[in-house]
Structure 1
Amino acid sequence: MAINRRDIKGNGRGTVLQQARLWSGLVLLVYATGHFINHGLGLVSLSWMDGMLTVMSAIWSSVPGTVLLYGAFAIHILLGVLSVLSIRSLKMPFWRWFQIALGLAIPYWLVSHIIVTRGSELATGVPVTYLQELSLLWPVSAVKQNALLLLVWVHGIIGVHFWLRPKSWYKDGLLVLLPIAIAVPIVAMAGWMTAAKRELLRLSLDTDGAEAVDMAARVAAVREAVSDYQAIAQGWVAISLSVLLLVFVVLIIAQGFRRRVQVTYGNGLTVDAAPGKTLLDVSRDNRIDHLSVCGGRARCSTCRVLVMSEQDGLSPVGPAERKLLDKINAEPNMRLACQARVQGDVNIRPIIQPKRAVSTPLQSDPFGWGVEREVSVLQLKIKEFRPFVDKTLPYDVIYVLNQLLDLMVEQIEAQDGHVDKFTNDGLTAVFGLETHKTQAARSALYAAARCQALVEGGDGAQQLAAPLKIGIGVHSGRAVIGRVGKSSDQTAPSPVTAIGNVSLIAEALEMVTRRSDASIVYSKYVHELCGLGVANMLGTPSEFAIQGLAGKVEAVMVKNSSPLRKKLELTQS
């Protein structure tokens, strides 16, 4: 089944080690963000920079702050090393290699920066001021400083992106988060460089010259005190990175000499794999499209597979995988490909296919798997349908019913609505699959008014072989949207259906029309979305208790649809 990669909900938190790496990284990113904002204040003044530096120092130089910061730093590095050494496939997505490369480069550049700041304080006993730091960095270390800033920021943002990506709100949240992610490093670089040039110019124009001489002496003292330590520290970091890469290469080469096992996919394709690799790694090694929205961290369930053979060919289910599988009520033979490691021959079938891997006409269908979205639901039923059937010949029943529904569908589709299902006395339609919730509400309500207009009089009424009355309920809200009952090969798609309270409320509002003279009953929420002003001008405001829901639903009962239709046309223009 095809899937919209951005519409998957997050279901899991990953393993304990993955959570530790995530949260230690978030601590470091919080510190870096504050530090970068501090740099950005250089666009205002040096005093603002020093003011925020005082606050930052009070937090992070305290005993709890120091333990938290350096503890997170140590944990993140240690778990990063373990993560690199656990890699069993070189065919990973580009973003993963890019994040690893950034992570390996950061310590080499960062250790020099730490020694110049914290190290100089320890060596000289004099707290580092922003003016001193700017004098140390500008202009000789400007490129290095900006490179380090970008390395840290991009590495952290990649991690945050794949942490938040499975969240249902993340796609909409990107409209706010992406500009912030771009602005922070730009403002930070502009801020510290602007402040450096401004302050050094001020010192050069100082007629007394005492401050400039004092600052030059302090900068020279710091450089002399830490220069040897910088070289030694960077040397050890370079050696450590070299050893890490050497061990990594040895592990990858050694893996090639291990006994091979076979992994068979549902389409009959069989590939060889080295024991210890995850099923996701096996798919990537063999260029088999395998969806993994969270990047293989057990935080979503999109990589899950059905195991068609005995499960002794896979590693046991771990705590993180078990928690996620239980949350989605998975079958006993379902596994997460990012967590299950091959130990012997195994036969699997991936459940969700990336859109590019689907060769059927529905490869671009975002509703092949359930997504959550705010939509508007229109519920339409024929009033007094049973008496009509009892007194009408069978042929005429079907003929009139088809006449009516054809007219209704024409109006619904004209407003970009999608017919969910037909019943023996009406239909259900969904609006908002491709439009904003406001436009969806207006389209649903306008389609309802047009349907009533056709039935109440005009060409539509003349086309019907027998006079009929209809009742319509309309409500808007969040729902699970998907195709229910679709064949596994996706060649015979079922209509899109909306599952949730929005459908329940729309149906309940339609039932109100059966016991009243109202032709349309729509919720107050729909009224507000459409911006229709005073409800009394269009119908009668009412409240209804709906079985299974707490509280009452406010709604508007419309007897004559003409004012509603005209109001919608007027406000649309």
Structure 2
Amino acid sequence: MAIRTREIRLVTGLVLGAFLLTHFSNHALGLVSVEAMEAGRVWFNGLWRNPVGTLLLYGSVLTHFLLALLALYRRRTLRMPVREAAQLTLGLSLPFLLIAHVVGTRVEWALTGHNSGYPEVVRNLWIHNPEIGARQALALVIAWLHGCLGIYFWLRPKTWFPRSALFLYTGALLIPVLALLGFAEAGREIADAPERFGPIPTPPASAILPMAGPVLYAFFGGAIVATVAARFIRSGLLWSRRVRVFYPNDRVATVPQGFSVLEASRIAGIPHVAVCGGRGRCSTCRVRVLEGLQRQPPPSAQERGTLARIKAGPNVRLACQFRPTHDVSVVPILSTGRNGVASLVRGGRAQGQEQEIAVLFCDLRGFTSLAERRLPFDTVFILNRYFEAVGESVEDAGGYIDKFIGDGVLALFGLRTTPQQAAKQALDAALRIKAALEHLNEEYASEFEHPLKIAMGLHAGPAIVGQMGYGQATSLTAVGDTINAASRLEGLAKELDVELVISEDLATRAALDLSGRDRQIVQIRGRAAPLGSWIIPKADGLVR
């Protein structure tokens, strides 16, 4: 598999983060003593000043910076969320804030062999040149903030991140604070007793050292200027090959060739739903092409797969993946409504996110014929007792009731837990529902001609989770292949007259051994691969 620039940027960023963490930890030893800082510096230099550490550190610095320039160049538009803009701006400013410090320590050591210790550095930055010391402290804080933003974007989609966020935020705050306090305490200690640390040694002269700073400033500054110039040149070339995207109500977005329809909508301020954030996963941004489809580039493999999954027609394209080369007329299939996107999605998952969840579908078997022989009041009463039993079972197991559909229920698990915990919760909920239904049958045995029977389907996998709907009907829900597969398994349970069908995916996550059970391969409409499933005639035969 080819290594993507995203993985390279992540690895180099983690290397730089490890350097900052060890550097800050060394500074924090100043809370103990200057001697403790010097002892820690021996280990720090041993880690980062050997040939392997040097190559790894400075190779990561150069690679990370060049990848930042590449990302800046590749962006079709500089409109981006505030956090992304802050991360990019801080990253590009770091070299200019750190060059003086690097030249005065690492470059000087490489050229002259002079090894500046903490007494010398602290005395220079804390006592003799406090304004330079303040600038270096600011540079280190900016570097740490840049790294924290990168790690935040990396970990944010992880299911465990919300549970660990407070711990991570606390560490991100304490580490630089302790480092600055350690450096300040070392400065106070040296200022109170300068004779303990002797005079500042005079480093050997070097004809090359004075040139190192200007050369580094010129290199990094020239690289940024060249990237910005390349962007202007590209923009000029692209704007000479503009395309127009026509929308309903006589709205038009004019963009350079290479922009997607979703980017055109955002640049023109036209509301356009994209629950997955424009990654080609959810299909909510799809548009129907009214005119100009014939001369456009064909869908990519990712776009074809998503469109095939939803059985889209030949004139339907994903706005986030469709980059027209000629004028085109489109209409978004999912309207944002009169109040815009804000009325469509609200809350913490407003824009939606893809995550691994477990899904339970359950339905009463034969309830339609039962309802036909009952008064409307009795039917509503029985359904409400059934919904109460299912709802309590799902919530007690740690799940979330997505919706009631007729006499069926859709429940989600894993919104704030790991995929393994979600699978176990869904299985626990199924067993609880079975027990609650038996209790309901016993309580109303005299009212039912036949006991109520249930069919359930359990599946686990990725789904798009977010706030969806319109107006007062907006709620947290999930869409995707995993939901469709769980519904199909529930239908299979009805067809086979069994209580429960469990997918192999969920059984694996729940560490459930079903090797002695009947296994079937299920074909799911719109899904390329069949789904292995286990047939459970009686749900209470499983051990909770």
Q: Which residue of 2 aligns with 1:409?
A: 387
2:373 to 396, 411, 427: 396
The answer on whether the counterparts of 1:374 and 1:476 sit within 8 Å (CA) in structure 2 is no
TM-score by length of 2: 0.67
> How many Å separate the matches in 1 of 2:30 and 2:315?
58
Q: Which residue of 2 aligns with 1:344?
A: 326
User: Matches of residues 68-87 of structure 1 in structure 2 within 5 Å?
Assistant: 68-87=56-75
The answer on whether the counterparts of 1:168 and 1:372 sit within 8 Å (CA) in structure 2 is yes
> How many Å separate the matches in 1 of 2:222 and 2:40?
35
Are positions 1:545 and 2:528 aligned together?
A: no
2:229 to 247, 266, 282: 247
> How many Å separate the matches in 2 of 1:293 and 1:380?
29
Alpha-carbon spacing, 1:257–1:269, altered in 2? closer, same or farther (3 Å): closer
Task: State the secondary structure of the residue aligned to 2:240.
Answer: coil
Are positions 1:284 and 2:245 aligned together?
A: no
Alpha-carbon spacing, 1:328–1:505, altered in 2? closer, same or farther (3 Å): closer
Offset, 1:221: 4.0
Alpha-carbon spacing, 1:362–1:94, altered in 2? closer, same or farther (3 Å): closer
> How many Å separate the matches in 2 of 1:156 and 1:449?
51
Please give the per-residue CA displacement for 1:320-366, whole angstroms capped at 9, x wherever unaligned: xx575577576888877677655432345668899994366666696
Offset, 1:492: 10
Offset, 1:116: 1.2
The answer on whether the counterparts of 1:303 and 1:352 sit within 8 Å (CA) in structure 2 is yes
Q: Which residue of 2 aligns with 1:430?
A: 411
Are positions 1:64 and 2:36 aligned together?
A: no
> How many Å separate the matches in 1 of 2:255 and 2:515?
63
User: Matches of residues 365-384 of structure 1 in structure 2 within 5 Å?
Assistant: 372=355, 374=357, 377=360, 379=362, 381=364
> How many Å separate the matches in 2 of 1:234 and 1:494?
52
> How many Å separate the matches in 2 of 1:367 and 1:95?
17
User: Matches of residues 461-480 of structure 1 in structure 2 within 5 Å?
Assistant: 461=445, 464=447, 466-470=448-452, 478=460
The answer on whether the counterparts of 2:280 and 2:306 sit within 8 Å (CA) in structure 1 is no
Task: State the secondary structure of the residue aligned to 1:138.
Answer: helix
Offset, 1:315: 7.2
Alpha-carbon spacing, 1:489–1:365, altered in 2? closer, same or farther (3 Å): farther
Gap runs ≥5 in structure 1: 1-11, 516-524, 530-541, 565-573
Q: Which residue of 1 aligns with 2:27?
A: 39
> How many Å separate the matches in 2 of 1:187 and 1:367?
37
Q: Which residue of 1 aligns with 2:441?
A: 455
Please give the per-residue CA displacement for 1:505-537, whole angstroms capped at 9, x wherever unaligned: 99999999979xxxxxxxxx99xx9xxxxxxxx
The answer on whether the counterparts of 2:103 and 2:213 sit within 8 Å (CA) in structure 1 is no
> How many Å separate the matches in 1 of 2:445 and 2:323?
65
Q: Which residue of 1 aligns with 2:246?
A: 264
Offset, 1:121: 1.0
Matched residues, number: 498
2:99 to 87, 111, 117: 111
Are positions 1:27 and 2:15 aligned together?
A: yes
Alpha-carbon spacing, 1:190–1:90, altered in 2? closer, same or farther (3 Å): same
Q: Which residue of 1 aligns with 2:181?
A: 190
Alpha-carbon spacing, 1:474–1:372, altered in 2? closer, same or farther (3 Å): farther
Gap runs ≥5 in structure 2: 500-505, 521-531
Which residue type is aligned with residue 105 of structure 2? T
Q: Which residue of 2 aligns with 1:213?
A: 198
> How many Å separate the matches in 2 of 1:350 and 1:186?
50
Seq. identity, %: 23
> How many Å separate the matches in 2 of 1:36 and 1:293?
40
2:257 to 244, 269, 275: 275
Alpha-carbon spacing, 1:510–1:422, altered in 2? closer, same or farther (3 Å): same
Offset, 1:449: 5.0
Q: Which residue of 1 aligns with 2:526?
A: none
Offset, 1:377: 3.9
Please give the per-residue CA displacement for 1:152-188, whole angstroms capped at 9, x wherever unaligned: 1222232333344444554445344333333332333
Alpha-carbon spacing, 1:144–1:501, altered in 2? closer, same or farther (3 Å): same
Which residue type is aligned with residue 128 of structure 1? S
> How many Å separate the matches in 2 of 1:546 and 1:447?
22
Offset, 1:271: 1.3
> How many Å separate the matches in 1 of 2:93 and 2:183?
22
Offset, 1:108: 0.9
Offset, 1:405: 2.7
Please give the per-residue CA displacement for 1:365-406, whole angstroms capped at 9, x wherever unaligned: 969978546567474656xx69x96xx9x9427877665334
Offset, 1:558: 9.0
User: Matches of residues 499-514 of structure 1 in structure 2 within 5 Å?
Assistant: 499=483
1:154 to 145, 158, 164: 145
Which residue type is aligned with residue 171 of structure 2? I
Task: State the secondary structure of the residue aligned to 1:469.
Answer: coil
1:99 to 52, 64, 87: 87
Alpha-carbon spacing, 1:373–1:96, altered in 2? closer, same or farther (3 Å): closer
Alpha-carbon spacing, 1:101–1:441, altered in 2? closer, same or farther (3 Å): same
Offset, 1:96: 3.4
My pick for the range that moved more, 111-120 or 172-181, is 172-181
Alpha-carbon spacing, 1:88–1:237, altered in 2? closer, same or farther (3 Å): same
Alpha-carbon spacing, 1:132–1:490, altered in 2? closer, same or farther (3 Å): same
Which residue type is aligned with residue 191 of structure 1? G
Please give the per-residue CA displacement for 1:62-98, whole angstroms capped at 9, x wherever unaligned: 3233223222222232333343344443433333332
Which residue type is aligned with residue 383 of structure 2? L
* Bigger RCO (CA 8 Å, 6+ sep): 1
Q: Which residue of 1 aligns with 2:503?
A: none
> How many Å separate the matches in 1 of 2:495 and 2:276?
43
Please give the per-residue CA displacement for 1:3-42, whole angstroms capped at 9, x wherever unaligned: xxxxxxxxx99x9445544443333233223322333343
The answer on whether the counterparts of 2:246 and 2:329 sit within 8 Å (CA) in structure 1 is yes
> How many Å separate the matches in 2 of 1:451 and 1:157?
50
My pick for the range that moved more, 66-75 or 143-152, is 66-75
